[in-house]
């Protein structure tokens, strides 16, 4: 039986704790009656023009500063084109080739060993709505209250080698964004959620194996259990002489297993292009320095000092 090494990268979505959405003045308050926090902009009506939320840009930059990223004083919003019923405009406004933050890192400790995890990029984007599948009814409903809520997506380098390291990284990120006050951290409401990319390779190899993306990870415990299950599943596949299929898999916490959701091509053709309705985000040197001065002593340095 061959010995394998896990390679894990995380994509963490952090909902920013602004009072209004990313491109309109609708409330971000959770738990309102369906389709009440909605206007022409977040409903994707033709001709409705988005206006960026200054506080969301501020919060995104704070996350980047706290994770040792380079802050791009000029960043660009792009349209990420795909169809899904809860995406009313037919595209998500995100950032592609020029995000607000890049090239950061986070130091973690797992199993008594300190390690540095690279952060590839942090970009801003607006959230989609929510599909509601009514039990016992042959219909689905769409609630657009969440559509347009501001997010940052934090994309790590594939530097983690165990489920314990992935959880340590997630907890470190969670501590930072909640300590800064830029996210309420409510995982049950989806304010802090992640997808995990997991692959195996023979110990000593440098090339990456075929990865799967795990979704529906809504707690630290479920992240750990899902990654551990997926590592064992992929090892069984490889030991049987079969090939791991690149796909998206859903984690079932009740069964503690993952199941195929959809096949995943090597690269989605989202047809990114700069959003013609939005000017580039420009951050002045004075603004950036004032935001840097806002940073408190962060959890890990404070813990070391104590």
Q: Which domain holds residue 62?
A: 4-305
| pLDDT at residue 139, as a whole number | 87
Q: Number of structural domains, the chain?
A: 1
| pLDDT at residue 264, as a whole number | 62
Gap between the terminal Cα atoms of the chain: 46
The pTM assigned to this predicted structure is 0.94
| pLDDT at residue 103, as a whole number | 97
Per-residue pLDDT of the chain (306 residues; tens, 9 = 90+): 569 999 999 999 999 999 999 999 999 999 999 999 999 999 999 999 999 999 999 999 999 999 999 999 999 999 999 998 999 999 999 999 999 999 999 999 998 889 999 999 999 999 999 998 878 888 889 999 999 999 999 999 999 999 999 999 999 999 999 999 999 999 988 899 999 999 999 999 999 999 999 987 889 999 999 999 999 999 999 999 999 999 999 999 999 999 998 776 555 689 999 999 999 999 999 999 999 999 988 888 888 888
């Amino acid at each position: 039986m061959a010995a394998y090494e896990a390679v894990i990268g995380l994509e963490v979505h952090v909902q920013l704790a602004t009072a209004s959405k990313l491109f309109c003045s609708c409330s971000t308050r959770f738990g309102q009656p369906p389709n009440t926090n909605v206007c022409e902009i977040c409903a994707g009506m033709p001709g409705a023009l988005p206006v960026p939320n200054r506080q969301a840009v501020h919060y995104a930059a704070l996350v980047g500063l706290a994770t040792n990223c380079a802050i791009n004083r000029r960043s660009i919003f792009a349209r990420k084109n795909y169809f899904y019923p809860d995406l009313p405009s037919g595209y998500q406004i995100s950032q592609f080739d020029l995000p607000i933050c890049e090239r950061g890192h986070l130091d973690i400790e797992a199993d008594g060993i300190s390690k540095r995890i690279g952060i590839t990029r942090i970009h801003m984007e607006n959230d989609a709505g929510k599909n509601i599948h009514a039990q016992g009814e042959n219909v689905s409903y769409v609630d657009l209250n969440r559509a347009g809520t501001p997010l940052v997506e934090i994309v790590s380098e594939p530097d983690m080698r165990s489920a314990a390291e992935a959880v340590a990284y997630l907890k470190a990120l969670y501590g930072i964004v909640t300590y800064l006050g830029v996210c309420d951290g409510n995982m049950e409401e989806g304010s802090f959620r992640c997808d995990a990319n997991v692959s195996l390779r023979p110990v000593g190899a440098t090339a990456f194996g075929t990865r799967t993306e795990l979704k529906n990870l809504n707690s630290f415990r479920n992240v750990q259990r899902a990654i551990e299950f997926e590592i064992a599943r992929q090892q069984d596949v490889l030991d049987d002489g079969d090939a791991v299929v690149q796909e998206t898999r859903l984690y079932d916490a009740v069964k503690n297993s993952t199941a195929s959701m959809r096949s995943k091509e090597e690269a989605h053709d989202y047809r990114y292009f700069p959003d013609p309705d939005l000017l580039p985000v420009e951050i002045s040197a004075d603004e950036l320095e004032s935001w840097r001065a806002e940073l408190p002593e962060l959890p890990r340095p404070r813990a070391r000092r104590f």
